[in-house]
Amino acid sequence: MAGSSADGSSATVVEGQAQGKQTFAFIAMTCLFFFWGFITVLNDILIPFLKESFDLNYTQAMLVQFCFFGAYFIVSPFAGRLIDKVGYQQGIVIGLLTTAAGCCLFYPSASLHLYALFLLGFFVLASGITILQVAANPYVAALGPEKTAASRLNLAQAANSLGTTVGPIIGAALILGVVAADASAVQGPYLMIAGMLVAAALVFRSIKLPVLAHVENTDDNSESVWSHRHLVLGALAIFLYVGGEVSIGSFLVNYFSESSIAGLSVEDAGEMVAYYWGAAMIGRLVGAVLMNYIADTRYLAVNAVIAVVMIVVSINTTGDVAMWSILAVGFFNSIMFPTIFTLAVKGLGSMTSKGSGFVCQAIVGGALVPLIQGVAADNIGIQLSFIVPLVCYLYIGWYALAGAEKR
C-alpha cells in the first residue's frame, strides 16, 4: 500500500509538471498571436496612407494585401517542410527573424519613395508570419485534449485580436496622424517593431518548449492532403473567411470617410477600425467559453449567418446604422478562423504539419478577395462592393453545416 501511494504521488507530480510546461508553452504562444495580429492589422492603416502618398486607386492600393497574403500561398508549403525538418520551436525563431527583416525593408522603401519596394517588404514580412502561423496554430491545438482544441485556439486567437485592436489606434496616431502623407512616417514605427521581433526570437531560442510527439516530425509524409475532404473544404473556407475579414478591414477607413456613411477624417476613421478588431477580441473570449457547451459547427454556422445579415444591413442603409452594422461583423468573425482551422486539421495525426501548411496556404484569400472588392469599388462604388465578402460568409455557413464532417 505504501509503495502504491508513493507511485501515485510520483505520477501526480509528473503530471503536474507536464501541465505546467504546457501552460507556459501556451502563454508563450499567445504572445506570438499578439505580435502577428498587431503587425497584420497595420495594413488597414497603411493602405489609405499609401493610397494618398502614392496617389493610387482602390485596385492599386489593394496590392498591399495581394502581396502580403500572397506570401501565404507561396511560402506555406515550404513552411510546413521547414517545421518538419527543424521542429516547431526553431520554426518560430526563423519566422520571427524573417518578419523583422520585412519590417526593416520599409526604411529604404520610404527613403527611395518606391511603392514596389514597399510591396516587397510586405511580402517578406508576411513570409515570416506565415511560418509563425504554420507552426503556432497546430501546436496550440495539440497542447491538450482534442475535444477542447477549438476552445483553446479561440483563447489564443483572443490575444491575436488584442493585437489587432491596439494596432489601429497606435497606427492611426503614429502614421495617419502626420501632417502630410509622407512615406517616411512609417520608418520609425516599423524599425521599433523589428527590434521587438528580434528580441522575441532570442527569447524563443533560449526557452524550452515541450515536444508534442503526435504532431512533431513524422516519417510518413506520403499521404496526400487531397484525400481528406473536410481538410480541402476547410482550406476553401479559410480562403474565403480570411478574404472576407481582411477585405472589410481594408476598406473601413475609406468607407467611413464617405459623407453618406460617417464623413470622418482619415485619422478618426482609422481609430474606428479598432472597434472592428476589438469586437473580434470580445467575440473570441465569449466563444472560448461558449464552445465548451455548444457544438463548434453549430456556433460557426450561427456566426456566419449573422455576419451576412450585418453586411446586408450596411449595404442598404446610411449613417450610423451602416457604420456600426459593418463594424459588428468583427464580432461574428471572431471564432471563424480557429474553429475552421481545428475542424479542417481534426484527426490528421502525423499529417498535422502538412495539413496546417495546406490550410495556411489558403490564407491567400486575403490577397485575392480584397483585390476583387477593389475592382468592384472602382466600378460600382465602395458601399455595394461589400457584396464580395457577403458571398464569402455564405460559403462558411454551408461548410459549418455540411462540409466539415469527416468522412
pLDDT in tens, 43-98: 888 888 888 888 899 999 999 999 998 998 899 888 878 888 888 889 999 999 99
Architecture of domain 10-207+223-403: Up-down Bundle (1.20)
- What pLDDT is recorded for position 217? 52
Rounded-to-integer distance, Cα 398 and Cα 377, Å: 27
Instruction: With beta carbons less than 8 A apart as the criterion, state whether 270 and 48 touch.
Output: yes
**Residues ≥6 apart with Cβ < 8 Å to 309:** none
- Higher-scoring residue by pLDDT: 350, 390: 390
- Among 17-26, 114-123, 348-357, the range scoring the smallest mean pLDDT is 17-26
Rounded-to-integer distance, Cα 56 and Cα 72, Å: 24
- What pLDDT is recorded for position 13? 37
- What pLDDT is recorded for position 11? 41
Averaged pLDDT, 215-236: 74
Cell of 98: 524573417
Residue 398 has pLDDT above 90, yes or no: yes
Rounded-to-integer distance, Cα 347 and Cα 142, Å: 11
Band of pLDDT at residue 25, cut at 50, 70 and 90:
confident
Band of pLDDT at residue 14, cut at 50, 70 and 90:
very low
Q: What is the pTM of this model?
A: 0.76
Alpha helices in 54-114 (DSSP H): 58-61, 63-86, 88-104, 106-112
**Residues ≥6 apart with Cβ < 8 Å to 17:** none
The rounded mean pLDDT for the chain is 85
Instruction: With beta carbons less than 8 A apart as the criterion, state whether 79 and 134 touch.
Output: yes
Cell of 103: 519590417
Residue 128 has pLDDT above 50, yes or no: yes
The CA angle 119-40-348, to the nearest 5 degrees, is 110
Write the DSSP string, 256-286: HHSTTTT---HHHHHHHHHHHHHHHHHHHHH
Band of pLDDT at residue 331, cut at 50, 70 and 90:
very high
Comparing C-alpha atoms, which of 280, 251, 74 is closest to residue 159? 280
Give the count of alpha carbons within 13 A of 61, CB side only.
Answer: 26
Residue 402 has pLDDT above 60, yes or no: yes
Residue 60 Rama label (left phi>0; alpha psi -120 to 50; beta): alpha
The pLDDT > 70 percentage for the chain reads 88
Residue 56 Rama label (left phi>0; alpha psi -120 to 50; beta): beta
Q: Is 112 exposed, middle or buried (0-12, 13-18, 19+ CB in 10 A)?
A: exposed
Each domain of the chain, given as residue ranges in start order, spans 10-207+223-403
Instruction: With beta carbons less than 8 A apart as the criterion, state whether 64 and 122 touch.
Output: yes
- Higher-scoring residue by pLDDT: 273, 21: 273
- What pLDDT is recorded for position 12? 44
